[in-house]
Amino acid sequence: MGLVATDYGIKEALAQLGVIEINDGSSTGSNFFSNGELLSSFSPVDGKLIAKVKTTTAEDYENVLSTASDAFLEWRKVPAPQRGEVVRQFGDKLRELKDPLGKLVSYEMGKSLQEGLGEVQEMIDICDFAVGLSRQLHGLTMHSERPGHRMYEQYHALGIVGIISAFNFPVAVWAWNTALAWICGDVCVWKPSEKAPLCGIACQNIAAQVFKANGLPEGISCLINGDYKVGEMMTSDQRVPLVSATGSIRMGKIVAQKVAGRLGKSLLELGGNNAIIVSPDADIKMTIIGAVFGAVGTAGQRCTSTRRLIIHDSIYDKVKDALVEAYSQLRIGNPLDENNHVGPLIDVDAVNMYKKAIEEVVKEGGNLLLEGGVLDGEGYESGCYVKPAIAEANNKFNIVQHETFAPILYLLKYSGELQNAIALQNGVVQGLSSAIMTNNLREAEMFLSVAGSDCGIANVNIGTSGAEIGGAFGGEKETGGGRESGSDAWKVYMRRQTNTINYTADLPLAQGIKFDL
């Protein structure tokens, strides 16, 4: 069975994106040549099978790698601003196909249509960023200590960049990596999440069209599909100098060791355990909006989702009551219907993790203010819709220390100085996103100082979730330390070379060493 007729115009969207059904019941697209077992993609929206795709075998992988290696030899010679022009065209194609791609993201992953479209917009934005960057891949020049010598550094393309991505941002994370890697002169091999393989095929089709129209080799953008075993083909492959992996901390620890074992580079974007500090000087209205969106947006399945709210005891009850009231307004249901605020979790395994976490917090002594629960009945047939939960908890609880990828918000109380709240905020192994809600300048600056938040992202009067592509994105500690997207994140996709040129007839040695012959 291949593509099925579904509501919501998904079949039309897949056709617009060039995802086609072939004779053997699998679905495919351009430049995707896999011959392994079939992988079924079910929608968490209604539980229906959307399509099946073939996974990549070891033999297919070898073909992909050799196509990518050949393509690299051509692509690296194209001047960077011309590579930028190709990325510009890719961004334009995404503008054209924003609606069907956003819809597919929403249907295959379960986030709201608006968030699906927002994800495609992020892809467009990173393309724009990369186009400008293609004329700014600067190195420094230095003064040589030797007379008649010139010294400078330059950046060269690295080679094949392996991208392993998570289910929750099934298209944007790929673009954050590829748009930069391409302008840097690299070629990319992508293994999308096995939970969103059709998004992978759709993106590959868009890229393939653009490269073909420019007479460029197909291996600049490659797709492989399957579970962690297919990912492992890249992590253990010496021909892939950089592996950019987005996903759980558990996965990151395995990938990091595998890649380091062959002295490759890895860029890790792993789980978070993000908190908002609510100080006595917080604007409560803004706090509630930021906290609710952060905790229930994408059904709590963002790496930057708000998991913990650290509230000063002087305003604790006020914030708690306002939160419970705001949660009572939430509408849970089909994410393609814009009247709903919360869509489904990705699958039934995720629902089980959610249920287990709620049981766990109670067992550890937490107090459920909103106990959550799984929804059933009409519109909830997939079994993936859950009610957002709120629990009063303690930072020391084992469950609070872990990221549960679901809409569960823990309320923690602090008293006295801001440093007490910062200690709680930093008192977890993850270090992705953090925020403070305050109108007090001293508190805001303290939170951002070296003695403040230890996260890669620290915001003032903005929640933890959502980031602009212009800044470098990533986190510290067990979040993995990687940075991608904006600022100077491009440097990880290139190799740096230091060059010294002697334009004299003598050969003076560095450090004043004499070596007379």
Tell me if 123 contacts ligand NAD by CB under 6 A.
no
Among 235, 334, 434, 459, indicate the residue that binds ligand NAD (CB under 6 A). Answer: 235
Distance CA 27, CA 202 (A): 11
Cα angle 329-334-336, degrees, rounded to a multiple of 5: 110
Q: Which stretch binds ligand NAD (CB under 6 A): 97-105, 240-248, 381-389, 507-515?
A: 240-248
Distance CA 293, CA 445 (A): 24
Distance CA 92, CA 124 (A): 8
3-state secondary structure of 50: strand
When CB distances to ligand NAD are compared, the closest residue is 231
Tell me if 194 contacts ligand NAD by CB under 6 A.
yes
Task: List 248's β-bridge partners, or say none.
Answer: none
Residue 369 CB, shortest distance to ligand NAD, in Å, is 24
CA-based R_g, the chain, Å: 25
Tell me if 406 contacts ligand NAD by CB under 6 A.
no
Instruction: Report the site for ligand NAD in 341-370 (rule: CB under 6 A).
Output: none
- Total number of residues that touch ligand NAD (CB under 6 A): 30
Q: What is the DSSP string of 175-188?
A: HHHHHHHHHTT-EE
Residue 474 CB, shortest distance to ligand NAD, in Å, is 6
Instruction: Report the site for ligand NAD in 129-188 (rule: CB under 6 A).
Output: 164-169
Encoding tokens for residue 267?
Answer: 């860029």
Residue 239 CB, shortest distance to ligand NAD, in Å, is 16
Among 227, 371, 445, 488, indicate the residue that binds ligand NAD (CB under 6 A). Answer: 227
Give the x/- contact pattern for ligand NAD in 413-442, rule: CB under 6 A.
Answer: -------------------x----------
Tell me if 69 contacts ligand NAD by CB under 6 A.
no
Q: Which stretch binds ligand NAD (CB under 6 A): 231-239, 312-320, 383-391, 486-494?
A: 231-239
Tell me if 232 contacts ligand NAD by CB under 6 A.
yes
**DSSP H helices in 17-79:** 58-75
3-state secondary structure of 473: strand
Distance CA 231, CA 73 (A): 24
Distance CA 3, CA 420 (A): 55
Distance CA 161, CA 158 (A): 8
Tell me if 75 contacts ligand NAD by CB under 6 A.
no
Among 115, 269, 443, 478, the active-site one is: 269
Active site residue 269: yes
Residue 262 CB, shortest distance to ligand NAD, in Å, is 14
Catalytic residues: 269, 303
